[in-house]
């Protein structure tokens, strides 16, 4: 098929989901790699009302917006609900996730199979850059709370926000 109706379906979309509390260099690595593979990449900040984060959802969105500004095909949204519904509503057939270590695998496999069973959405795993294989938002918060240096693990604006939040600026 040719013409405008067919063009929409040719846009390859993917989503990188997570809490991003806050975004780290590990997340950014996966987002930038996904942005090279897909026409449009959504970064979905999944809202978990039961879990209060260090940063409000709007603050997380704002930090992500700043550090992904150079990627023209990246969009950022918050979402409350099932990831497969986020995908369905935006015609996204693929979820892109970073796999850090074997310890990530069991849970990620369960989620991938559940999501595929629920709606047919596929999950693609990208092996984490070894530099970031130990890195998580929780670890960054833990280390930063006790005054450890995390400047090599998060972008500068995130470092600034962390220092401000933990009142050490």
| 136 touches ligand ADP (CB under 6 A) | yes
Residues 6+ apart with CB under 8 A from 20: 27, 43, 45, 60, 63, 64, 137
Other CB atoms closer than 10 Å to residue 137's CB: what's the count? 23
Distance between CA atoms of 72 and 98, rounded to whole angstroms? 21
Catalytic residue among 19, 35, 97, 100: 100
Beta strands, E only, 88-139:
94-99, 122-127
Could you tell me if 70 and 44 are in contact, meaning their C-beta atoms sit under 8 angstroms apart? no
Active site (annotated) includes residue 51: yes
| 132 touches ligand ADP (CB under 6 A) | yes
Catalytic residue among 6, 9, 49, 51: 51
Binding residues with ligand ADP: total (CB under 6 A): 15
Choose the binding region for ligand ADP from 13-21, 35-43, 62-70, 159-167 (rule: CB under 6 A). Answer: 13-21
Q: Which residues bind ligand ADP (CB under 6 A)?
A: 18-20, 26-27, 29-30, 97-98, 100, 128, 132, 135-137
Which residues are marked as active site? 27, 51, 100, 137
């Amino acid at each position: 098929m040719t013409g405008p109706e067919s063009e929409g379906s040719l846009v390859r979309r993917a989503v990188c989901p997570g809490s991003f509390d806050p975004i780290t260099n590990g997340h950014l690595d996966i987002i930038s790699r996904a942005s090279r593979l897909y026409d449009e990449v959504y970064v979905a900040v999944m809202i978990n009302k039961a879990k209060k984060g260090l940063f409000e959802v709007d603050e997380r969105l704002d930090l992500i917006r700043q550090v992904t500004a150079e990627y023209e095909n990246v969009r950022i949204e918050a979402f409350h609900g099932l990831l497969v519904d986020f995908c369905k509503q935006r015609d996204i057939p693929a979820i892109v996730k970073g796999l850090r270590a074997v310890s990530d695998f069991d849970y990620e496999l369960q989620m991938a199979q559940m999501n595929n069973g629920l709606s047919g959405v596929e999950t693609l795993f990208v092996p984490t850059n070894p530099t970031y294989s130990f890195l998580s938002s929780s670890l960054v918060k833990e280390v930063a709370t006790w005054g450890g240096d995390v400047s090599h693990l998060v972008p500068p604006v995130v470092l600034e926000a962390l220092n401000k939040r933990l009142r050490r600026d």
